[in-house]
């Protein structure tokens, strides 16, 4: 079904609808350029929209992200493709890129869906909810999450049993199983890569017991437990639903660790862990929170003060790298570590352990380009060819990088980097 309507023209193609891509798209659109924003997931908003609160201001992430997301989705100059991926981008000449964009069927007509959730209730299939980082389940017919944009149902066709129950209950007949994969040919004059990062998978460190011990979770899972749209409406440990009262954070899980292939620092884990510790102190006033760290890297504006504040609130900071985690009969966990201050190996018991997982490159973008090579840096982030003077430049002229696609960074830095990439893209559009 590739008719002429599948041939699209834009000034800019922005790949990735997280906070960096969204910011870049908005900058370009409000300058008057037509933008196509391509997002792989069912909703734009990236990782930020999933967070609880953000450091060091403790603004709730949703309160900052949702209006941005709303502005992006309503901007007359921005077209959004969700559930869509780039299959290739070819540079024909300066200001002339040809991209092939593949959109997966959602099996729901977004415009007609009112997000009434009747399909969710009718669907008999339950699977782990990736948007709650598998803490709870969801249906095969589901609204991705409550503040998703677009807020519309989707059918997870891999798990759907095609029983038709959702179709029967849908009051607007918006479920359409005849939708097919669509391919679009997009012409754009410039490209911004805002493909973001991946979280480190702690299964790669078996000695921490993630996946084996139920009360060892990742920081992103804790982020969900603390978010306003939290799955349990309180903080509890997954093993037995008990409210934890002795919580440990293991910093540098998958960062600064050559043994798992990631020698660099992820730049955000210290701060998000300190933030979560502060939120936990608020949510569970009786709980003890201990952060095991190598160095605390609270380097940004207001960050060190935030760290001092956490110390003042009674968060316990222990300098030492965790060697091994083992489970006791009651689901509690024993952490073996070197206490650097005392110079001895110690053990400590906790009833819940949060692994502060690091930032890894999302290498999707390296496969987009055929003829021109998009260079990656030694850690497989997108290489910044003029890192000091023009940090948004990549090895391909006219292709710019925004946000964590070029390396770990926090939200303020991602937004500045998106501003930087937009500036380069606007200049490129005007000059060529």
Partner 1 sequence: MKKKIGVYICHCGGNISDYVDVEKVKKSIEDEGGVYLAKTTMFACSDSNQKDMVDDIKGNELNGIVVASCSPKLHLTTFRNVSERADLNKYNYVHANIREQDSWAHSDDKNGATEKAILLVKAAIAKARLAEPLIPNKIQAQKAVAVIGGGIAGMKAAIALSDKDCPVYLIEKAPFVGGRVAQWGNMFTSNQTGEELITKLYHELIKRKNITLFTGAEVTHNAGSIGDFRLKVSVQPRYFTGTCEEKQLQQAIDACPVEVLDEFNFNLTKRKAIYRNAASEYPQTATIDMENCTRCGKCEAICDKIDLSQKEEILDLHVGSVLMATGFDPYTPAEGEYGYNEVDNVLTLPQFVRMLELSDKKLIRNGKEIKNIAYIYCVGSRQEEDGNTYCSRYCCTSAIHTSVEVKKKFPGVYNYHFNRGIRTYGKQELLYAESLQLGDIYLQGDEESLPEVSGESGKTMVKVKDILSAGRLIEVEADLVVLVTGMVPRADNSVGSMFKLPKGRDKFFNEIHMKLRPVETFIDGVTIAGACQGPKNIMESVNSALAAATKSYSYVSKGELETEPIVAEVDAELCSWCDACTAACPFDAISMTNESSKAIALINNSVCKGCGMCLPVCPTDALNLIAYSNNEIESMIDALAAG
Binding test (CB under 8 A) with partner 1, winner from 6, 34, 66, 163: 66
In terms of Cβ atoms closer than 10 Å to its own Cβ (0-12, 13-18, 19+), residue 5 is exposed
- Annotate 229-289 with DSSP letters as a single string: T-SSSS---TTT-PPPSEEEEEEEETSSBGGGTB-S--SSHHHHHHHHHHHHHHH-TT-EE
Q: Which of 426, 332, 410 is nearest to 12 (CA)?
A: 426
Residues 180-239 that bind partner 1 (CB under 8 A): 227-229
DSSP assignment letter at 6: G
Q: Name every residue whose Cβ is closer than 8 Å to that of residue 185 and which is 6 or more positions away in sequence.
A: 6, 7, 8, 98, 99, 100
Which of these ranges, 5-13, 53-61, 125-133, 349-357, lies near partner 1 under the rule CB under 8 A? Answer: 53-61
In this structure, how many other beta carbons lie within 10 angstroms of the beta carbon of residue 180? 9
Window contacting partner 1 (CB under 8 A); options: 93-101, 156-164, 211-219, 259-267: 259-267
- Kindly identify the residues of this chain, within the stretch 229-258, that bind partner 1 according to CB under 8 A: 229, 256
Least separation in angstroms between residue 144's CB and partner 1 is 12
The residue with tokens 């990439």 is 421
User: Cis peptide leading into 56, omega within 30 of 0?
Assistant: yes
Residue list 350-379, contact with partner 1 (CB under 8 A): 377, 379
Indicate whether 342 belongs to the interface with partner 1 (CB under 8 A): yes
Instruction: Read off the tokens for 22.
Output: 């969204």
Is 401 near partner 1 (CB under 8 A)?
A: no
Pick from 297, 325, 355, 356 the residue near partner 1 by CB under 8 A: 297
Q: Among the candidate windows 8-16, 60-68, 203-211, 284-292, which touches partner 1 by CB under 8 A?
A: 60-68
* Closest distance of CB 264 from partner 1, Å: 5
Tracing tokens 């299959």 back to the chain, one arrives at 87
Residue that the structure tokens 């933030």 belong to: 275
Does 278 interact with partner 1 (rule: CB under 8 A)?
no
Q: Which of residues 132, 298, 332, 362 is near partner 1 by CB under 8 A?
A: 298
399-to-13, 90, 252, 335 alpha-carbon distances in Å: 10, 11, 32, 46
User: Rounded to whole angstroms, how far apart are CA atoms 252 and 50?
Assistant: 21
- Quote the least distance from Cβ 6 to partner 1, whole Å: 27
Strand 288-293 with 246-253, pairing:
parallel
Q: Which is nearer to partner 1, 209 or 361 (CB)?
A: 361
Evaluate whether 33 touches 426 at the Cβ level (below 8 Å). yes
Are 341 and 321 in contact by the 8 Å Cβ rule? The answer is: no
Stretch of 61-69, 175-183, 186-194, 367-375 lying at the interface with partner 1 (CB under 8 A): 61-69
Does 427 help bind partner 1 (rule: CB under 8 A)?
yes
Cβ proximity to partner 1: between 186 and 220 the closer is 220
* Among the listed residues 120, 185, 364, 419, the single contact to partner 1 using CB under 8 A: 419
6-14, 121-129, 145-153, 210-218 -> range binding partner 1 (CB under 8 A): 145-153
Residue 394 makes contact with partner 1 by CB under 8 A: no
Look-up: residue for tokens 């940004």?
Answer: 300
Please select the residue that binds partner 1; options are 14, 42, 174, 392, rule is CB under 8 A: 392
The piece of 182-190, 209-217, 366-374, 383-391 that touches partner 1 (CB under 8 A) is 383-391
Q: How far apart are CA 152 and CA 357, in angstroms?
A: 31
Residue 104 contacts partner 1 per CB under 8 A = no
> Which one among 82, 218, 221, 417 touches partner 1, defined by CB under 8 A?
417
Residue number with CB closer to partner 1 (135 or 186): 135
- Comparing CB distances to partner 1, the nearer of 266 and 356 is 266
């Amino acid at each position: 079904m590739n008719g002429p309507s599948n041939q699209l023209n834009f000034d800019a193609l922005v790949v990735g609808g997280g906070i960096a891509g969204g910011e870049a798209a908005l900058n370009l659109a409000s300058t008057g350029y037509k933008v196509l924003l391509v997002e792989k997931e069912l909703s734009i908003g990236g990782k930020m929209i999933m967070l609880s609160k953000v450091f060091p201001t403790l603004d709730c992430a949703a309160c900052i992200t949702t209006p941005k997301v709303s502005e992006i989705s309503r901007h007359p100059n921005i077209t959004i493709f969700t559930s869509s991926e780039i299959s290739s981008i070819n540079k024909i000449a300066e200001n002339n890129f040809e991209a092939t964009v593949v959109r997966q069927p959602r099996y729901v007509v977004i415009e007609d869906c009112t997000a009434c959730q009747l399909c969710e209730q009718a669907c008999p299939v339950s699977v782990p909810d990736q948007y709650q980082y598998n803490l709870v389940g969801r249906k095969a017919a589901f609204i991705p999450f409550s503040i998703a944009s677009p807020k519309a149902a989707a059918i997870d066709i891999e798990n759907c049993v095609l029983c038709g129950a959702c179709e029967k209950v849908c009051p607007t007949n918006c479920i359409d199983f005849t939708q097919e994969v669509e391919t679009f040919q997009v012409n754009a004059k410039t490209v911004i890569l805002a493909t973001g990062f991946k979280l480190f998978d702690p299964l790669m460190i078996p000695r921490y017991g993630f996946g084996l011990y139920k009360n060892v979770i990742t920081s992103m899972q804790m982020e969900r437990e603390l978010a306003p749209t939290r799955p349990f409406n309180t903080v509890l440990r997954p093993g037995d639903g008990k409210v934890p009262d002795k919580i440990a954070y293991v910093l540098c899980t998958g960062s600064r660790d050559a043994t798992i292939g990631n020698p660099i620092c992820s730049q955000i884990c210290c701060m998000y862990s300190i933030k979560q510790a502060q939120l936990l102190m608020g949510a569970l006033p009786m709980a003890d929170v201990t952060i095991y760290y190598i160095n605390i890297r609270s380097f940004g504006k207001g960050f060190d003060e935030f760290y001092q504040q956490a110390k003042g609130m009674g968060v316990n900071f222990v300098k030492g790298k965790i060697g091994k985690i083992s489970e006791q009969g009651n689901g509690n966990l024993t952490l073996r570590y070197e206490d650097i201050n005392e110079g001895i190996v110690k053990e400590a018991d906790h009833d819940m352990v949060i692994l502060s997982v690091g930032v890894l490159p999302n290498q999707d973008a390296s496969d987009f380009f055929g003829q021109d090579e998009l260079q990656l840096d030694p850690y497989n982030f997108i290489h910044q060819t003029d890192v000091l003077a023009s940090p948004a430049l990549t090895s391909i002229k006219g292709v710019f990088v925004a946000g964590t696609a070029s390396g770990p960074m926090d939200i303020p830095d991602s937004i500045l980097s998106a501003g930087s990439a937009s500036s380069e893209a606007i200049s490129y559009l005007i000059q060529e």
